[in-house]
Structure formats: structure tokens, C-alpha cells
Amino acid sequence: QVHLVESGGGLVQAGGSLRLSCAASGFTSKYYTIGWYRQAPGKEREDVGCISSNDDSTYYADSVKGRFTIYRDNDLNTLYLLMNSLKAEDTAVYYCAGERTSRPISTMVRVGDYTYWGQGTQVTVSS
């Protein structure tokens, strides 16, 4: 059974860094496109970025481009979201999501593009 479990969230000051983990079980994550999403209170879930199953290429939303990095450790079957230069507006619950697909990552930005989801981890950035 496919499971995704996020961890690494917490409270950090603005300008700081956090690394979120997305541990995969029940499947080999390197064959899946993995997306990261976030949802702030009262707002819709929005895409942060994703990493392709084809070639590990990445896509990032404009709001995080240059500050966030997505990468994999295939030996650990784990994905990571490294977040630098955090801002108060980055405060949200962060989710990872997986889909076995060879579609270009530019087409994998909608919530509905992913079948499997983790439970989320809270990130709070204090200003």
C-alpha cells in the first residue's frame, strides 16, 4: 500500500531554513513524479513545486523559485523540500503527493494530478 509521510516542519524565524522530508513506503518513489503543496488557513491548497520521474527535473512556483529546492534520495526512498530565506507568507501545512506518470512536470501542477497524498506537516514562520 502506498504511503507518504511528511516530517520536518516546525517554527522558524523569517530568513531561516527548514528541510521537509517525504518518506515513501509501499512503492519505489523514483518512478513517481512527486509534488509539494501547501495550504494556509482559509486558502486553497497551492503548488510549491515538483520533481519528475523521468529525469529528476524540477519545477517551482514563482513564489518559491530561487528559495526552495526539491530533491530525492533514492536509497532512502525519500523526497526532500529544502526551504531557505523563509518568509511569514510561507506559513502553511505542507504536503507531498505522488503520481506514477511520465507526463512533463509542467503539466503536473494541479492538486487533481496526484493520487497519493501525505498527511501534511506544519511550517510556521515568525516575522
| pLDDT tens track for 10-28 | 999 999 999 999 999 999 9
3-15 b/e (C-beta count within 10 Å ≥ 16 → b):
ebebebbeebeee
> From CA 65, how far away is CA 7, in angstroms rounded?
22
Average pLDDT rounded to a whole number, residues 72-91: 97
| pLDDT tens track for 32-45 | 999 999 999 999 99
> From CA 7, how far away is CA 108, in angstroms rounded?
23
Residue 17: what pLDDT?
Answer: 98
Residue 32: what pLDDT?
Answer: 96
DSSP lists the bridge partners of residue 93 as: 39, 122
| Banded model confidence at residue 61, pLDDT cuts 50, 70, 90 | very high
